Structure 1
Amino acid sequence: MTVVHVLLGLGWWLVAPRGAQGVPRPFLSLHPSREVTLGDTVTLRCRVPHPNVPVSIYEEDGEPKWQWDRVEDTAEVSVNVVTRDFAGRYRCQYNMTALSRFLRVSNPVELVVLDPNFPPPVMSLSPGGRVKPGTDVTVSCWSTYGATFLLHKAGISAPIQRQSLSRGNTATFTLYGVTQSDVGTYGCSYHPRGNPFVSSHPRSEVTLELEEGGPSMDHPVSQQPAPRPSLSLHPSEEVALGDNVTFRCHVPRKGVRVIVYKEGDGNYRWQQDGVQDTTEVSMQASTNEISGRYRCRYEILAPTWATDWSDPVEMVVLDASFPPPTLSLSPRGHVETGTNVTICCRSPHGATFVLYKAGTSDPIQRIVTGNTVAFTLHGVTQADTGTYGCSYRPQENPFISSPIGTSMTIPWHRDTFP
């Protein structure tokens, strides 16, 4: 991750304007869904915690698309998605006039366009037909267009598994030790190569059924699902090759069996019985193969049933064999308040570039591109002061990251601040 410092000329100006720290963020949402079929309408809704403030909604790698001078509570815009160009990652921001040009930026939302020009993948189950409880079932999805495949289950809004292919045309998802909770209809879709916010449409579907004599369909868990477990990585979701990482799965019931596994890879799967509250798996990141997306779930053994899988966590391996990107800033030298600052990252290995800011756990921008990307900080203010990092994920493996690189400093005119 290449680092750049955005600093002011005098030390005491490094403190944000009075009241800026702790100013609540706006919240951006998509309605009726984050997925919209080509030709349909979607509404972007930005809710702000302060009345009478200027608001803008923008795509992460571009200028504001929609702006309002005074918003009382919520700004919204409805868009007819007539082309795939609307697909992307969006944020909104508002301006606190009492804090001069201080901007507060929202959470990101991803608008995925469902394009029927990309045909659905071919799906299959192995073994086919009704299966015995406890069987490992493989769901295969095939398409010549797909780069990232997603597995869905009816009744669950978010994909339950995701797999990115570096080569080949088939993704294989494994449902380990299926129980009554796994019964249902599964769908598969894909993001075409070079279009991470476009999806095939409609989804292919297959149905998983258990043999007669399995757990009862009217078991209470089918009507009142048990709370889901949660999975976390420690000390961080990013780990350097050779360092240790710990998977920690917290469960809300005692004396259960817990399974931790990596999506799409049966070589990384752990199981422990009799877990009372939390189970941990520690390992050394000795190869890049450990990187990927992980989940956990727990099972009750008598009678046999299982919860849905936890939300996924992504373990990213920092690999020093990938050199850090080259970083440049424009404009250079002293920067006045309100200036648009561009951070350029270049690497012949990069496919997805990620921009970080120190003190913020999540990336503040992410762009899928070729070998060069330009991140823009619009109308910089004191709130933008800090250390920024740029890294990239190679195209063949989205869970590998380049390491930390060099640093640069931008001095800021003291007299430009009110």
Structure 2
Amino acid sequence: MKKTPNVSILLLWLLSISGREDVQTSESPPAPKISLIPMWRILLRGNATIVCKAPLFPMFHLYLEKDAQNLIIPTEGINGVAYFLITNVSAEHGGMYKCCYNSSSLSHSKCSGLLELLITDPDLPRPNISLTPRKMIHLGITVTFQCSAKGPIQGFYLHKNGNKLDSQSVKLDEDSVIFSFTDVKQTNGGRYHCSYKSSSYPFISESSNEVELFVVDPTFPRPTISPYPMLLVTPGGNITVTCKSKGSFMRFYLQKSGDEMPQQSLETKGTMVKFHIKNASESHTGEYSCRYSTLSEPFVVSKMSNLTQLVITVPHLPKPNISLIPYGIAELASNIRIECTANRSGSRFYLYESRTKKQLQIVITAGSMVYFPFNNLTKGNGGSFCCSYMNQSEFFTSSETSDDVTLLVLDTLLPKPNILPKNMEWIPLKRNISITCQCQYLAAKFFLQKEDDQMPFQTLKAKGTMATFIISNATSAHEGKYKCSYSSTSYPFAISSPSDFVTIQITDPTLLKPSISLSPKVMVILGSSIIIPCTVHDLNNTFHLNSTFYLYKIGYEKETQAVKPDNDTAMFPINNAMEKHGGEISLQLQTPTSVLDVRNQ
């Protein structure tokens, strides 16, 4: 066989068990030991150093033999060790080596076991190796490694972590061999590969692919995995799975159910790692678990964690509707329900925390609607929630999640905040309005709510003890009374009692200005009746007949009269005039879209 210049050398040392020339007696000194530097692989035309170690005897000599022939001149050992350098290694160096020593006190030489030098031939087909069963192995199980190759073969070698572990001869017509481990122990864990010896001695193949043998140690505490029990993701989204153990300096493994071996492994000096799966698709769905090992024994692993499901949303399942019953801010110790409705029946419904998509509840129904109950509410029950559903025949695909619904719980122990300004002037149409809410403690959120609304319509994250709400481009729809509240950093969805009210009133400078007068136009006698007419002088016929006039005394805005006009005039009667009717009067004209305020005496 013609060799190329890039051929490399593999040295394998074999302990000679049979055919030893020198059987020792109890009085005989021990045989020397033989080893190689580098340990196992040397390039063609490289150098190899064979090391002999022998007992310390006065005037002893060490020498190296190849194929039972004295190869190198005897060398005196230094502290019991001799080094034999082979330079420019070539095919002629193939064969069996041993080292021997003698001294003046010995009647015969003592020799080491055998070291076989084989030459790696890159033209030989690589062998294949397989492990059965290919999974995490429990103690006491039997495992087998099958090594196979094509071509005339003399024998196979099994290697663990780069070192030769075992060898088997085969017949010339055989192309595979089985290496078996019965009663597997922790020490059997590791990386394995095989090679084979060609019938053209002394050539050997390149190494096969590697297989990994993980051994489960039942004494290791189980790790924890999160999110648990389910992780919901949208197509193309990114996934983070956290695995945690009690000890530090660990290697963690993430494995999908059905896969023979872990998908990912990460090392850490701490107790926790985060596995990332990017650009999620349906191929990523399934059940996942994690294990760990110590860094010193990476192939001795713990039992697996609990299983968590990775579920992906699919567009053919429309998102459900969600609502809070009863709607509004809930009282402590009360009972509420979150309703989730789909457009199909026979589904599994899931309730999640909106931000993390952590699964909170599951309900299976033959119908199309479920209720998720929250009984005897506490401050910690508040939050933002969404729901989804799955067909009962599909385990890892889900509908899109619903819109979010927020559950706020009233915490009456929190001091109510202040709202500023306490009294607000009339606001011109399309102006911006600022309302500030202030509390005594550091807040998580501030909430702004209209008087008749059941829930806040604005929420701000807090940056201290106050926040300012902005109502932009104000219209008549923004008129009304407003109050604010806040939540603490400990319970961001448990809100305080509300502040006092502040009233917002909008004026429209584009409306025609009405006029106001008294009838009679004299001093009013107590007990008499008067009429206050209000008129819009509309020369361009733009006055809206569905408008309303409002009359009230400044400072007594709650005591308001409302009158529909007759054409362009409204008449406000005051019967049995009293001292309380005296004062400054304000007139407000409101159309279906705008408001104008006029003051008169």
Q: Normalising to structure 1: TM-score of the pair?
A: 0.45
Which has the larger Rg? 2
More RCO (CA 8 Å, sep 6+) = 1
